Amino acid sequence: MQNRLKKLVRARLFWPLVALALMIIFNIIFVSDFLKIEVKDGYYYGRIIDIINRSAPLMIMAIGMTLVAATGGIDISVGSVAAISGAIVCTLIGGDFQGNPKYPFAVAIAAALLVTALTGLWNGMLVGKLGIQPTVATLILYVAGRGIAQLITEGQIITVYYKPFAYIGGFVPGIPIPFSIIIMAVVLVIVMIILKKTALGLFIESVGVSADASKVTGIDVTKIKIIIYTFCGLCAGIAGLIISSMIRAADANNAGLMYEMDAILAVAVGGTSLNGGRFSIAASIIGALIVQCITTTMYAIGVSSQVLPMIKAIIVIIICLVQSEAFRKAILNVFKIKRGLTHEKNAVKL
Amino acid sequence: MKKMQLNSKYVPLIITILLFILMFAIGAVRYPTFLSLQVFLNLFIDNAYLIILSIGMTFVLLIGGIDISVGSVVCLVCMASAHLVENVGMNPYLTMVLMILLGAVYGLVQGCLIQYFKMQPFIVTLAGLFFGRGAAAWISIETINITNKTYNDIAHYRVKIIGNNFISIGSVIALVTLVIAIYLAHYTKFGRAVYAIGGSEQSALLMGLPVARTKVLVYTLSGTCSALAGIVFSFYMLSGYSLHGMGMELDAIASTVIGGTLLTGGVGYVIGSLFGVLTQGVIQNLIMFDGTLNSWWTRIAIAALLCIFMIIQKLLTNRGSVQKKGQVA
């Protein structure tokens, strides 16, 4: 029995799931109507559905970010890339009041995804080929990306009246669950199949543990990094489509703002070490749900959206501290000293 | 052979100085009013805070670290001093001292987390970035204008140079900081330890240098510089706003890299960062003088310049290692 319990506690998904359960219990107690799910016009509505719907873009970003983190890197440009994606799709469809698209819907989506994959490729080239620190390499697009999005929309917020555009982040007629979740599921399944059926997952982990050792064993480290960053850019692009579809507009300044922090937080909460190495996509998905839960709960309590990053920053630091071996040792030492003292006292008494 | 290697260390710095002169010349040819002492001095006035930031950043990059929290520390300091001076009514000079302390503690905490708990610099300072912004918004979401007399007097004081040309107090602070930083980097034990750690942390440790203390001190120094830059920025803007200094971290890193400091650490000069800032300033001026370009082009141009310099660095360091290998063979 005790063995089984130990096994359960050691399982990768155990702690993220406990955290999620705690968040949900907290919400059930403090937020009214949390569990209520209504059916309106054949669609499901409710707070839980809302959280899942809103966390879908975050989950997709977290999938990409998990793989990047597993190689020991980081991509802080995801929020800006999401803004670029939204800017492209909205500009190509155009803000026609009658709802007639300028270019076909599929062309607009394809263009947005292509460009975001290219931005990812750019990051990958800088990190993989030139060996530049991932932070600095992706910082370039983190800052310049919003500028590029501004240039695409010519500094305006383009509102799209074309109906099908709203489907991506909302409901497709005839399907009762939000479409964004289906997109997320498709991305997840494709990634899982690739990771399980090929050695890519193993290669990523080995690059994260030691790039030098991987190179010696014959893994093309540069290629792996480029593929992963490109994929991360693509994920950010898909997330950007959902985000801009939710507000039915391209907002270069605010779309996907602070998402990089949420995505990194989701990965960290899920338990994937940001130092690279072992990773779990499922854990990051749960991490994304937890992060979205935190966000909604904070809003419900009355914390403003601009103050939220402060709280999330503290949570990230605490999680990283717990993951840090040096910190755990320091804590253990404190306990040991205390225990040692009580032992001594006991000895004196005896 | 030896002379050649010595040269390659200076190459980025020389390129930057030449680029700065070239840019200024382009401006002078295209716009008749560009070539004046005041336009040149304005570079110092408009970028005083950036000079101070880049100085702190140079030390961080020299030890092979990174600090992307600088922009939000500037924002937090601006906001906090505006709040303290305007809403609390605190003495302006006391506020400034408090702000410097705040920056030092901010850097110290980040440095300790990085050094003693072996956390990655980018995670710690990224958290620092978001923490600073959040804290600034927590103080106030609205803009707070600084109407305090002392602040306004300092902001509008003109230090005459030649004739009617002048610089601001902020730029004087920046230049003094620069001189102190050059002294610190090249004439003290601390400076030598910084270069040694950047060259190879392992060897520095074996040499018996105080690696842990130096690294924590460097992050503390960067935090202090950010706070000082924040004070100078508050003279420049005369307001606190939670979106001040967005993307400033890129500007600081870009000026340092353009100034010839290697991202891998160990190589670079504090004076180079000054030229990095001035080059950026000229680009900004050119875009402003042009008048038809979107202001976002500045950011994109700086990002592009940063990329070019990183590629140059890569090529230079590659050549260096090839040479070393050749010597061994």
Q: What is the dihedral of CA B88, B91, B96, B99, to 10 degrees?
A: -30
Decide if B116 is inside a domain. Answer: yes
Label residues A59-90 b or e (16+ Cβ within 10 Å = b).
bbbbbbbbbbbbbbbbbbbbbbbbbbbbbbbb
- Taking alpha carbons only, the member of A79, A102, A78, A98 closest to residue A90 is A102
Query: Is A158 exposed, middle or buried, given 0-12, 13-18 or 19+ CB atoms closer than 10 A?
Result: buried
Tokens of A5: 């319990």
User: Which one of B123, B249, B251, B261 makes the best mutation probe of the A interface by having the most chain A beta carbons within 10 Å?
Assistant: B123
Decide if B261 is inside a domain. Answer: yes
* Interface contact flag, B130 A139, Cβ < 8 Å: no
* Interface contact flag, A151 B296, Cβ < 8 Å: yes
The confidence score (pLDDT) of residue A125 equals 93
Q: How far is B151 from chain A (nearest CA, A)?
A: 27
- Residue of chain A whose Cα is closest to the Cα of B121: A135
The confidence score (pLDDT) of residue B219 equals 96
Decide if B11 is inside a domain. Answer: no
The confidence score (pLDDT) of residue A58 equals 93
Decide if B66 is inside a domain. Answer: yes
* Interface contact flag, B263 A308, Cβ < 8 Å: no
Run of H or E including B270: helix B270-290
Q: How far apart are CA B72 and CA B193, in angstroms?
A: 28
Decide if B114 is inside a domain. Answer: yes
> Which domains are present in chain A?
51-302 (1.10.3470)
* Interface contact flag, B130 A324, Cβ < 8 Å: no
* Interface contact flag, A264 B126, Cβ < 8 Å: yes
B145 bridge partner residues? B239
Centroid of chain to Cα A45: 24
Tell me chain B's radius of gyration from C-alpha atoms. 20
Q: How many residues are present in chain B?
A: 329
SS3 of A220, please?
coil
| Chain A residue numbers touching B128 (CB-CB < 8 A) | 313
What is the amino acid identity at position A326?
Answer: A
Backbone angles phi and psi of B188, in degrees to 5? -125, 165
Decide if B301 is inside a domain. Answer: no
Q: Does B250 touch chain A (CB under 8 A)?
A: yes
Which residues lie below 8 Å from residue B11, measured CB to CB, with a gap of 6+?
A: B260, B312, B316
| Chain B residue numbers touching A125 (CB-CB < 8 A) | none
A 302-331 → B contacts, CB under 8 A:
304, 306-314, 316-317, 320-321, 324-327, 330
| Chain A residue numbers touching B137 (CB-CB < 8 A) | 304, 306-307, 310
Tokens of B194: 């910084």
Of A126, A139, A308, the CB nearest to B253: A139
The number of C-alpha atoms within 13 Å of B210 and in the hemisphere containing its C-beta is: 8
Beta strands in chain A (DSSP E): 37-40, 43-46, 158-159, 249-250
Q: Count the Cβ atoms, other than its own, within 10 Å of residue A198.
A: 10
Specify whether the CB–CB gap between A58 and A281 falls below 8 A. Answer: no
A 244-283 → B contacts, CB under 8 A:
258, 261, 264, 274-275
What is the amino acid identity at position B153?
Answer: D
Q: How far apart are CA A231 and CA A246, in angstroms?
A: 23
Q: Does B309 touch chain A (CB under 8 A)?
A: no
In chain A, which stretches have pLDDT less than 50? Answer: none
- Residue of chain A whose Cα is closest to the Cα of B294: A151
Q: How far apart are CA A65 and CA A59, in angstroms?
A: 10
* Interface contact flag, B311 A313, Cβ < 8 Å: no
Tokens of B71: 């922009």
> What pTM value is reported for the model?
0.84
Tell whether the torsion through CA atoms of B124, B127, B133 and B137 is positive or negative.
negative
* Interface contact flag, B263 A136, Cβ < 8 Å: yes
Tokens of B70: 């600088």
Q: What is the dihedral of CA B93, B94, B95, B96, to 10 degrees?
A: 50
| Chain A residue numbers touching B242 (CB-CB < 8 A) | 306
Which residues lie below 8 Å from residue A138, measured CB to CB, with a gap of 6+?
A: A74, A75, A76, A77, A123, A126, A127
Of B116, B123, B137, the CB nearest to A326: B116
Q: How far apart are CA B203 and CA B54, in angstroms?
A: 27
Of B68, B118, B250, the CB nearest to A326: B118
Decide if B59 is inside a domain. Answer: yes
What is the amino acid identity at position A161?
Answer: Y
Query: Number of structural domains, chain B?
Result: 1
Q: How far apart are CA A85 and CA A101, in angstroms?
A: 17
B168 bridge partner residues? B158
- Residue of chain A whose Cα is closest to the Cα of B315: A130
The confidence score (pLDDT) of residue B326 equals 44
Q: Which domain holds residue B159?
A: 47-274
How many A/B residue pairs have CB atoms within 8 Å?
128
Q: Average pLDDT of each block of 10 consecutive residues along chain B (329 residues)?
A: 56 84 88 85 92 95 92 94 92 94 96 90 88 92 90 88 86 95 94 92 90 95 96 92 84 89 86 92 85 78 86 75 45
Decide if B33 is inside a domain. Answer: no
Q: How far apart are CA A76 and CA A143, in angstroms?
A: 10
Q: Write the DSSP assignment of B67-128 as a string of letters.
A: ---HHHHHHHHHHHHHIIIIII---HHHHHHHHHHHHHHHHHHHHHHHHHS---HHHHHHHH
User: Which one of B60, B67, B106, B126 makes the best mutation probe of the A interface by having the most chain A beta carbons within 10 Å?
Assistant: B126
